[in-house]
Amino acid sequence: MNTSVDDKRLDPDTVELLRGSLTHLLAEHDERPLADRLTELGWAEVVEQDPLTALGLLFDLKGTTLSPADALGPALADQLAAVTGDATLASATVGLPSPFGESTATGDTISDIIGETISETISVECAAASPPGEMVAVIADDRVALVSAAGLTSHPMVGFDETLPLIRLTGAAAVVRWFDADVATALVARARWLLACELTAIARQVVVGAVAYTKERVQYGKPIGVFQALQHRLASAHAMTVGAAHLAAQAGFDGDPWTAMVAKCMAGQTAEHACTQAQQCYGAIGFTWEHEFHRSLRRTYALDRLFGDWRTLEHEIGTRLQAGGTVPRIGTL
């Protein structure tokens, strides 16, 4: 008897229970890595049963709570282990793109023959959301290099969002193993899908918050939400958020690099657009540290930069469409 995909999906009641548990984990102040706390929750079994729902929900709640906990690193390590068939890689640190440059093997590869041993090192430039373990998987020249963390130097990165801890990893690291382009493509696609889920959730929360504010703020004896100019702004942001959410869901279902790229592009643009429209609703109070809006704005810009900001991806999408001469179909779009 064949088991359909729907038979493996988590039922609505289980999803709601999971939502409550994950929200608590992401909101609590606990210095332990999120991966360890998820293990206590039986996360591996949940993801094995329904990875689309489980991972999509986790990153949706990451965007809703603006949690600083590292969920992306462990998720990418699990993906690396899955696509390579090497379960030990689930404990590796996956290097995130660095704003200072890219890791590279071209021109910086050193091969020294010592007896019968070939020692190869590459120039590493990446980021991580937590201190690295023994091994770091780095995307370099469209491949993935598994390198020893022993040769890397760690520097705290003080970025636009100070609540999102990132560590800069640099140095010449010894290569333990190379993986081909298919592995790199799978990692990037998974990262873009998960980030699309998180960015879309931020956009949704921003719109909800702005709508609530327009009902409370009164000018000329009326709530500002009755003014069409603000209604149009928030309606535009809401419409984009709904579309971006559907694209993110489709990217998870397809597991396709093209869909993931389009979803990440749309999600980044949507989150920025939502913040722009919300800022117009908040007015001066939206620029203050006392109001929480700046947290969503800062997180949006920080996440958008990972694995391609929306403007860069938009250009890449256009270039590929011109070169191919056809528009790939995404779901029912």
| Phi, psi for residue 242 in degrees, rounded to 5 | -60, -45
Q: How many angstroms separate the CA atoms of 253 and 255, rounded?
A: 6
Tell me which long-range contacts 79-88 makes (C-beta under 8 A, separation of at least 24). Answer: 79/186, 79/187, 79/190, 80/137, 80/144, 80/183, 80/187, 83/182, 83/183, 83/186, 83/187, 84/179, 84/183
Q: How many angstroms separate the CA atoms of 269 and 183, rounded?
A: 27
CA distances from 61 to 17, 20, 194, 274, 291 (A): 13, 10, 11, 18, 21
pLDDT of residue 3: 41
- 6 falls in which pLDDT band (50, 70, 90)? low
pLDDT of residue 118: 52
Which CATH fold topology does 90-179 show?
A: Butyryl-CoA Dehydrogenase, subunit A; domain 2 (2.40.110)
pLDDT of residue 4: 45
Dump pLDDT digits (tens) for 133-149: 899 999 988 899 999 99
Q: How many angstroms separate the CA atoms of 155 and 41, rounded?
A: 32
What are the extents of the domains in the chain? 5-65, 90-179, 184-324
Highest mean pLDDT among 26-30, 117-121, 317-321: 317-321
The pTM (predicted TM-score) of the whole model is 0.92
Answer whether 90-179 and 184-324 agree in fold. Answer: no
Which ranges of the chain does DSSP label H, i.e. alpha helix? 5-8, 12-27, 34-40, 43-49, 51-65, 72-84, 181-216, 228-254, 257-282, 293-304, 310-324
- 100 falls in which pLDDT band (50, 70, 90)? confident
Q: At what angle do helices 181-216 and 72-84 cross, to 10 degrees?
A: 150
Classify domain 184-324 by CATH number: 1.20.140.10
Question: Cα-atom radius of gyration of the chain, to the nearest Å?
Answer: 21
Dump pLDDT digits (tens) for 139-187: 988 899 999 999 899 998 877 788 888 999 999 999 999 999 999 999 9
Dump pLDDT digits (tens) for 207-266: 999 999 999 999 899 999 999 999 999 999 999 999 999 999 999 999 999 999 999 999
Q: How many angstroms separate the CA atoms of 126 and 55, rounded?
A: 24
Angle at 74 between CA 255 and CA 92, to 5 degrees: 110
Angle at 296 between CA 137 and CA 224, to 5 degrees: 160
pLDDT of residue 314: 97
DSSP type of residue 116:
T
pLDDT of residue 113: 42
Q: Three-class SS of residue 119?
A: strand
Check pLDDT > 60 for residue 331: yes
